[in-house]
Structure formats: structure tokens, C-alpha cells
Amino acid sequence: MTTYLITGATGTLGHLATQALRALEPTAHIAVLARPGADVDRLRESGAAVRRGDYDDPPSLRAACAGIERALLVSSPVLDPTVRARQHLAFLDAAAAAGVAHLTYTSALGAEHDPGHHRTEQALAQGSTSHTILRNGLYTEPFVERAWQEALTTGVVRSATQGHALRTASVRDLGLAAAHTLAAPLPGATLELNGPGWTYDDLTDAITTRLGRPVRHESVDDAELGPFGPVHALFRAGLLAQSPAELTRLIGQAPRTAGEVLAVVAG
């Protein structure tokens, strides 16, 4: 009997990975990590056993990893790279001490330029635990959700990509990918997971069709997009443009398009 632990299970990716793993492996073999005090009603309803632990509390992580054979470490949302790396390394140490046989880590495209992810990937490479690194692309959902809300409230979708394509991946597909690497580990693999390309013109057309009324796409400066501005600049510079090939192979199906994500977002 293989036993699994998934961290970040109260969050989006960890929850989706847990759901996907339940379709591949018996729920009774799956435990999820939640911080002390976190609301775990939804997790308990799914049937997974809840273990309490905090990336900032190494003893809690060692206890949570006891008896676990394969673990998914969902990266911490903390932005400070020093804190983030310390949290991740605490989990890697706990997993090694508990004898976890295989670990999947959700990193990010461009990890070599991100000190928190880079340090974690280095620690995995230097350690003795079998592991798979998933360098996840940016999630499609926040882009589509924002465009949908803008269209509903103003009839205008704004972007600063200047017609350049974006390549993003649905977080649902990334959760599925993570689950696959737990059920069938790929030791030593570093996979760059991305979805199909799309443009704001395509998305605006799809929103127009769905709403049944005209929606306009307007090009604006980065500064007008708040936190999305710097991200649009990355796509304008042709970065994060990895192909969907590795994600397609891993999940055994074509990754969701922005249009398919829109269908979910728009309900």
C-alpha cells in the first residue's frame, strides 16, 4: 500500500492535485497537510486524512511525514525568497528524515531566475530523496477571470501584451500533472509544464460570443494593469513561452485552452 501526502491542500493547486490523485489511487491512502487552525471541513468531506503541519515548524513536518512514501510539496506562497527557501528546505529535511521515498516539488518556469525555487531545486539535486520537479507555467485562470470581470463591468478587456501570445496552463491540468507524478513517479525529471498559447484578441472574441454583446480589447500600459502589468511585460518579451508538449505527455491529453477555462469561469 503506497501512502501519499499532499501539502497546500487548502489552496487551489493542492486541492486540485488531491482530487486528481483520488481518481488514480484509493482515498484511504491519501493524507493532506493543513496548517494548525486552517479550516479543513472541505478536506475531510473529500475523505482524505488531515495531518497538521506548518512549513515554519519543522517538528510538525516530521510528524506529518511519518509513514508517507510519496509526497507533493506545493511551493509556499511567501514572496520573500529567503523565507520561502527555508520553508521548502524544512519540508525536504522532514521528508528525508521520515524516509519518504519520492517527492514531487511544484517549482515554476524560469526557476533559475527565482532564488526561492532555485535554492529548493538545488537542495533536491544535492539530497538523496528521489524527486520530480514540475516547473509550472503561470495559471490561465487569473488572466481569464480578470478579463471576464472587466468585460462584465466595463465592456472592455485591457492588456499590455501588444498582440503577443501568452502561454499559460490551467491550474486544473497542473493539479492533474502533479497527481500523475505521485501515482507513477518520474525520478530525476524536471518537467516544464505549460499550456497552449492564446492572445487577448482571441479571448475577447470568445467573451463576446459568450456574452452575446460586443466587448472591445484595448491595449494599455503595464502601469494600468496593477500586479498583472509586469507579467504582461514578460509575455511581450517572449518569455515563459515553453511549449505544451511536456504537460500534454504527462496528463495524456491536450491541456485546456483559454477558451475552455473561460467556459468554466463564465459558468
Ligand X SMILES: NC(=O)c1ccc[n+]([C@@H]2O[C@H](COP(=O)([O-])OP(=O)(O)OC[C@H]3O[C@@H](n4cnc5c(N)ncnc54)[C@H](OP(=O)(O)O)[C@@H]3O)[C@@H](O)[C@H]2O)c1
Which residues of this chain interact with ligand X, rule CB under 6 A? 7-14, 35, 38, 54-56, 74-77, 87, 106, 108, 136, 138-139
* Cα 51 → chain centroid: 21
∠ Cα 104 110 116 (to 5°): 65
CB nearer to ligand X: give 3 or 106.
106
CA distance 59 to 64: 9
The residue of the chain with the least Cβ separation from ligand X equals 11
Query: Least distance from C-beta 75 to ligand X, angstroms?
Result: 4
Residues 6+ away with beta carbon under 8 Å from 152: 211
Q: Could you tell me how many residues make up the chain?
A: 267
Query: Least distance from C-beta 155 to ligand X, angstroms?
Result: 27
113: number of Cβ within 10 Å: 10
CB nearer to ligand X: give 3 or 87.
87
CB nearer to ligand X: give 81 or 127.
81
Amino acid (1-letter code) at residue 34: A
Query: Least distance from C-beta 88 to ligand X, angstroms?
Result: 10
Strands 30-34 and 4-6: parallel
Query: Least distance from C-beta 209 to ligand X, angstroms?
Result: 26
CB nearer to ligand X: give 138 or 215.
138
Query: Least distance from C-beta 143 to ligand X, angstroms?
Result: 9
Amino acid (1-letter code) at residue 122: Q
CA distance 75 to 84: 8
CA distance 12 to 100: 24
Query: Least distance from C-beta 216 to ligand X, angstroms?
Result: 26
CB nearer to ligand X: give 70 or 117.
117
Q: Give the position of cell 459558468.
A: 267
CB nearer to ligand X: give 210 or 228.
228
